[in-house]
Amino acid sequence: VDPPHYLRCVICTDVMRKPMSLPCGHSFCATCCQQSLDRKAECPCCRKEVTHAPHPNISLCQAMDEQLVHCSFGPRRKDFTAAPVFEIASQGCTAVVKRADLPSHEKDCPFRWVVCGLMDTQTDEKCRVVCRQNELAEHLRQCDFALAPCPNEGCDEQVSIRSIDKHKEQCLFETVQCPNPGCSEFLLRTNVRAHQEQCPFRVVNCPFHKYGCTAQGSVTFIEDHLNTATNDHLMLLFSMLEYQQQRHLQEKRISCPKKRFKCIINNFVRLVKKQVIDVDLDYSWKLKIWPNGEDKRHKGYVSIRLFSREASRTFKVEGPYTLRIVNHMDSQRSIVKMTEATSREWADSVRGWGFPAFAKVEDVLNPEIGFLKDDKLVVEVEVLVSSALEIVEYHGEAD
């Protein structure tokens, strides 16, 4: 509805928004008034100087609230002239209401613009179609984001129409072919796993796989393989049996108790010139003593090392050990060297456990210190083996 001229702002020529009055009595839009005063402090109509701030024109505000206006979702202004022309929008709202009632009307207007907003159940993408509120129901009936039941019998899921195919790629009630090569069975996806466990075309290992056979194939292939590879499988079994027997014997040969040895080296003064003294402790251990050092770097020292007598094999022994040269005059002055724990992989090239500079030769030979009694040197050995493992490699022959 065309408003009366006194409701129009002379600056913007439109209906006043938040009318403000100057002391001279003229009124303008709040924004237009402030912008004009910012440029020059005078009334835009009468050019009178403005010395006081403008104030809201309550009477005009009330008059504007009573003014009849078209719903913004209906007629739209086509031309601004002395006699404005309005064009009625197609399917638009034709309601004419008081300006004060316009917000509440437009909030529930059936011609207001809305966004569909339905969400794809597979991708979370939303429909962005914009339509009028009274057209939304029709759009929802055609929207490919709308939900529809899965076409597979037994599936209760509701899926976006546009994603039905993607859903069927995972649907447990979709009919699919067994994935095993050669199998032509069709069944529900939910039953595939149970079927594969019994499928004659499933890929399995030969029952003798744990003994070294590498054959692999379908159940029917393995059945034929078992009929043709009997001799090979017997050889694998014999090899494994032999390996287990050897391992059992090896475990029996290596014991793990605490052992103590006392070695009395007679005629030690004469033996100082000897390069090395070998002492067999038992079937598992032996002691080597170098009276004047095991090499040039340790010349002048007594070197002592503990060795395994299983030097031809490779095995690991764990546990602390103690080596002691006994002082006959004062046991407190005995030379003791020990480890809290040790772990070593023994082989024939290993130099054993021990100390290359155990004691000075001059101290051992000095009769006043007390290591020699009647030209005898006493060396005590204590071994506490916590575990012993012989390492044997087994190489089974495959088909």
Report how far residue 347's alpha carbon sits from residue 14's, in angstroms, rounded to the nearest whole number. Answer: 105
Q: Are strands 315-318 and 343-346 parallel, antiparallel or unpaired?
A: antiparallel
Lowest mean pLDDT among 89-93, 216-220, 353-357: 89-93
pLDDT at 78 (0 to 100): 47
Residue-wise pLDDT for 281-301, tens only, equals 887 788 999 999 999 999 999
Q: Is the pLDDT of residue 190 over 80?
A: yes
More confident residue, 250 or 18: 18
CB 45 within 8 A of CB 26: yes
Half-sphere exposure of 235 (CA within 13 A, CB side): 11
Report how far residue 303's alpha carbon sits from residue 312's, in angstroms, rounded to the nearest whole number. Answer: 23
pLDDT at 350 (0 to 100): 57
Work out the pLDDT band at 312, boundaries 50, 70, 90: very low
Q: Is the pLDDT of residue 362 over 90?
A: yes
Highest mean pLDDT among 66-75, 234-243, 334-343: 234-243
CB 398 within 8 A of CB 340: no
Rounded to 5 degrees, what are φ and ψ at 203? -85, 125
Mean pLDDT over 11-26 rounds to: 87
Mean pLDDT (the chain, rounded)? 83
| All structural domains of the chain | 5-108 (3.30.40.10), 112-170 (3.30.40), 258-390 (2.60.210.10)
Q: Residue 88 to residues 48, 74, 81, 105: CA-CA distances in angstroms? A: 43, 6, 17, 18
Report how far residue 284's alpha carbon sits from residue 313's, in angstroms, rounded to the nearest whole number. Answer: 12
Residue 297's DSSP bridge partners are: none
Q: Is 281 helix (H, G, I), strand (E, B) or coil?
A: coil
Work out the pLDDT band at 255, boundaries 50, 70, 90: low
Report how far residue 16's alpha carbon sits from residue 29's, in angstroms, rounded to the nearest whole number. Answer: 5
pLDDT at 324 (0 to 100): 94
Mean pLDDT over 29-47 rounds to: 89
Q: Residue 321 to residues 210, 311, 354, 359, 360: CA-CA distances in angstroms? A: 39, 19, 9, 17, 21
Both ends of the chain: CA-CA distance in Å? Answer: 98
Work out the pLDDT band at 319, boundaries 50, 70, 90: low
